[in-house]
Amino acid sequence: MKRFLLPLLALLPFLAAAQELRLIPYPLYLQADEGMYAPEGGVATVYTDLRGDDRRQLLDYIASSPLPLKAVKKQAKAHVRLLLDELDPSLQQPEAYRLEITPQGADAYACHPQGLFYAFQTLMQLDGQAAPAGTGDHSLPLVKIFDEPAHQWRGWHMDVSRHFFGKEFLTKQLRMMARYKLNRFHWHLTDDSGWRLEIKRYPQLTDSTAYRPQALWEEWGDQGARFCSAKAPGAYGGYFTQRDVREIVDYAQCLGITVVPEIDVPGHSRAALAAFPALACTGRAYENSELCLGNDETFTFVTNVLTEVLDLFPSEYIHIGGDEADRSHWARCPKCQALMQREGLADVKELQSWFTRRLEDWLTQRGRKLLGWDEIMEGGLSPRATVMSWRGERSAVEAATDGHDVVMTPWQCYLDNAQDDPTTEPRGVGGYVPLRLTYALDAVPVGLDAAAAPHILGVQGNLWTERIATEAHAEYMLYPRICAVAENGWTVPERKSWERFHRFALDEVDYLHAQGYNAFNLAAEKGDRPEAQQPVRHLAVGRTPAYTHAPSPKYPGRGPATLTDGERGSYNYQEGQWLGFENQDCEVTLDLDSVQPIAYVAASFMQRADQWIWLPSEVQISVSDDGQDYRILSREPQEVDFDNPAIIFRTYTWEGATRVRYVRLTAKASGRPGGWLFTDEIIIK
- Catalytic residue numbers? 191, 268, 324
Nearest 5°: phi and psi at 285? -80, 160
Short-list 381, 389, 502, 489, CA closest to 435: 502
Q: What is the 3-state secondary structure (H, E, C) of 113-140?
A: HHHHHHHHHHHHHHCCCCCCCCCCCCCE
Q: Please write down the HEC assignment for all residues of 393-409.
A: HHHHHHHHHCCCCEEEC
Q: How many CB atoms lie within 10 A of CB 380?
A: 16
- The Cα–Cα gap between 588 and 667 comes to 9
- Crossing angle, helix 498-514 and helix 481-490, to 10 degrees? 130
Q: Map 525-543 to HEC letters.
A: CCCCCHHHCCCCCCCCCCC
Classify residue 544 by its DSSP letter. Answer: P
Closest CA to 476 of 429, 526, 519, 432: 519
Q: Are strands 44-48 and 69-71 parallel, antiparallel or unpaired?
A: parallel
Q: Which DSSP state fits 678?
A: E
Q: List the one residue out of 374, 365, 413 whose CA is nearest residue 394.
A: 374
Peptide bond into 25 cis (omega under 30): yes
The C-alpha R_g of the chain, in whole angstroms, comes to 28
Q: Compute the Cα dihedral for 392, 393, 399, 404 and give only its sign.
A: positive
Nearest to 638 by CA among 626, 628, 630, 648: 648
Residue 314 CB neighbour total at 10 angstroms: 11
Among candidate residues 235, 320, 336, 322, the one with its CA nearest the CA of residue 280: 336
The 10 Å Cβ neighbour count of residue 162 is 22
